[in-house]
């Protein structure tokens, strides 16, 4: 298999601690010596560390501390210590455990024979400029307490670079939960396959920058345990771009590129409709119609002159009362409904739920839906339904699930199964769940945590759907693409403007620049 194709597949795969353990045991049972694999992994870690040290102007005059645990994660750390020592770096090993696994003990003995100092006193690390955390890898389940917890807290208050091997020690592999306390890493080098903790929001502040160290696990071993269509997957730039309707055919025209109807806005929340419209504009949608209250129609027309703005009767408070009598919902390949509607627009939402085309429900449409028996209402629809709640909206929609399950990934999957919808559970690690699979967007930015960002996503996703539907391609993948693209725009904007400078309108201006940088890379 082509190495690039293999690398792309590996980047998508996510495992639990139990699955990783089973895969490793298959490798060992097939004849790979544990000691040989440890050497291979540790040498790959060392190569990455050399690059990190160089990039951060860390030289052989800077002391490096290696935190060593009792298991094979500690063994990895000891091989790294040995290799960095041979490269000329002054090394000190912190090892607070009296008992170690046999292989780890052998590496510890060899380190001592080389003259590398070993200490159980955390204070000995005060003179180090860099710390490498090899205390615990995947599979830790017991809380860290006592002297070791105090040592970790001391490390976290120090002004040093911290790099963790596999996972920051103290983080639960599957949930990301902090087990008493945990190392706060600047860089975490995940080994072999991505663990679920990297896709949970609980431990993100401890992980820092995350990178995968691929040590060539055979895909056949992975598929034997996970199957060819794993339950949980990471979105990558390659998978996101492949689904976009690019390049367009030479004879493309507006009808082939589809027609989107956005129903949004109110006198109180005019901006929501504008932001959704601007998100749709970036998608390249062939035809865009936006239904808004009559009182704000002129504002939309001046901002989005290419769109057909449909004025609607409104309530006394300026919310959409109903759609005009002459509007035919069969004209549209997709309807996106919700941003800025206010709860008064319940008749609109009830009408859209009866449409015979894919619909996207967001914001106030979800708040209205929460009062309409969501499980029954959604599962009875014949066409595709996509809902895009943040966690608060999700709780209002599915309070029964929240009471039974705290894991965000499992929550989204269960809700998708029960409602037969595609659920975009938004957050720092947005989760896209279908009844069969879950995809996680692994890259985002806190800059997107501002009002209006979700309205932009609704418009962008709404605009991407029609050409996919007309081409009779699966809808699920383009949802992943929209979420990924939206995040990349936020990341690029934050890079240029800082995380404080990315309001929702600014975000819309970065959608095309963000995509262009990846199209160039992949062309």
Please give the annotated binding residues for K(+), written as ranges.
73, 133, 169
CA distances from 318 to 264, 323, 341 (A): 12, 14, 9
| Neighbouring residues of 260: CB distance < 8 A, sequence distance ≥ 6 | 280, 285, 287, 288, 289, 332, 333, 334, 335, 336, 462, 463, 465, 466
Nearest to residue 272, comparing CAs of 510, 515, 508, 489? 508
Annotated binding residues, written as ranges, equal: 72-76, 133, 137-143, 166, 169, 272, 340, 390, 426-430, 454-455
Instruction: Provide the 3-class DSSP secondary structure of residue 445.
Output: coil
Instruction: Provide the 3-class DSSP secondary structure of residue 216.
Output: coil
For 212, the enclosing helix (H) or strand (E) is: strand 209-213
Annotated binding residues for (6S)-NADPHX, written as ranges, equal: 72-76, 137-143, 166, 272, 340, 390, 455
Q: How many residues does the chain have?
A: 523
Q: Is the Cβ–Cβ distance between 312 and 292 less than 8 Å?
A: yes
Question: Which DSSP string do the residues of 230-283 spell out, in sequence order?
Answer: -SEEE--HHHHHHHS--SPPTT--TTTT-EEEEE--BSS-HHHHHHHHHHHHHH
Burial label for 339, CB within 10 Å (0-12, 13-18, 19+), is buried
Report which DSSP code applies to 131.
Answer: E
Q: For 5, list phi and psi in degrees, rounded to 5.
A: -65, -45
Annotated binding residues for AMP, written as ranges, equal: 426-430, 454
């Amino acid at each position: 298999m082509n190495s690039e194709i293999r690398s792309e597949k590996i980047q998508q795969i996510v495992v639990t601690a139990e699955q990783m353990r089973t895969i490793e045991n298959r490798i060992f049972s097939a004849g790979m010596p544990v000691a040989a694999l440890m050497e291979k992994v540790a040498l790959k870690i060392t190569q990455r560390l050399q690059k990190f040290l160089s990039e951060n102007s860390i030289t052989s005059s800077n002391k490096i501390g290696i935190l060593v645990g009792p298991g094979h994660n500690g063994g990895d750390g000891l091989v790294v210590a040995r290799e960095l020592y041979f490269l000329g770096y002054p090394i000190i090993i912190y090892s607070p455990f009296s008992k170690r696994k046999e292989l780890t003990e052998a590496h510890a003995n060899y380190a001592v024979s080389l003259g590398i100092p070993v200490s159980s006193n955390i204070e000995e690390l005060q003179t180090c400029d860099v710390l490498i955390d090899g205390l615990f890898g995947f599979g830790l389940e017991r809380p860290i307490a006592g002297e070791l917890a105090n040592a970790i807290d001391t490390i976290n208050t120090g002004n040093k670079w911290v790099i963790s091997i596999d996972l920051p020690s103290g983080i639960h592999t599957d949930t990301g939960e902090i087990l008493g306390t945990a190392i706060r890493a600047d860089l975490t080098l995940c080994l072999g396959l991505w663990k679920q903790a990297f896709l949970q929001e609980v431990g993100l502040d401890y992980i820092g920058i995350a990178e995968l160290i691929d040590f060539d696990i055979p895909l056949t071993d992975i598929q034997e345990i996970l199957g060819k269509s794993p339950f949980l997957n990471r979105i990558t730039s390659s998978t996101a771009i492949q689904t976009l309707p690019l390049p367009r055919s030479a004879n493309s025209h507006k009808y082939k590129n589809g027609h989107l109807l956005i129903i949004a806005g109110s006198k109180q929340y005019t901006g929501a409709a504008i932001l959704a419209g601007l998100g749709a504009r970036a998608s390249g949608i062939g035809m865009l119609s936006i239904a808004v209250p009559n009182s704000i129609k002129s504002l939309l027309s001046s901002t989005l002159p290419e769109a057909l703005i449909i004025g609607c009767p409104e309530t006394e408070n300026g919310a959409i009362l109903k759609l005009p009598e002459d509007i035919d919902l069969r004209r549209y390949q997709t309807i996106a409904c919700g941003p800025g509607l206010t709860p008064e627009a319940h008749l609109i939402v009830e009408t859209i739920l009866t449409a015979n085309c894919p619909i996207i429900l967001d914001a106030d449409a979800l708040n209205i839906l929460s009062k309409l028996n969501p499980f029954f209402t959604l599962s009875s629809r014949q066409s595709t339904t996509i809902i895009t709640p943040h966690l608060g909206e999700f709780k209002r929609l599915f309070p029964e699930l929240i009471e039974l399950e705290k894991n965000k990934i499992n929550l989204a999957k269960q809700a998708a199964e029960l409602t037969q919808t595609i659920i975009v559970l938004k957050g720092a690690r947005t989760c896209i769940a279908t009844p069969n699979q879950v995809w996680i967007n692994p890259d985002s930015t806190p800059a997107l945590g501002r009002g209006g960002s979700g309205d932009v996503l609704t418009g962008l996703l709404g605009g991407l759907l029609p050409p996919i539907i007309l081409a009779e391609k699966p809808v699920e993948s383009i949802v992943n693409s929209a979420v990924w693209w939206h995040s990349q725009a936020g990341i690029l904007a934050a890079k240029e403007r800082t995380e404080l400078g990315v309001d929702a309108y600014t975000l819309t201006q970065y959608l095309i620049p963000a995509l262009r940088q990846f199209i160039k890379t992949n062309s």
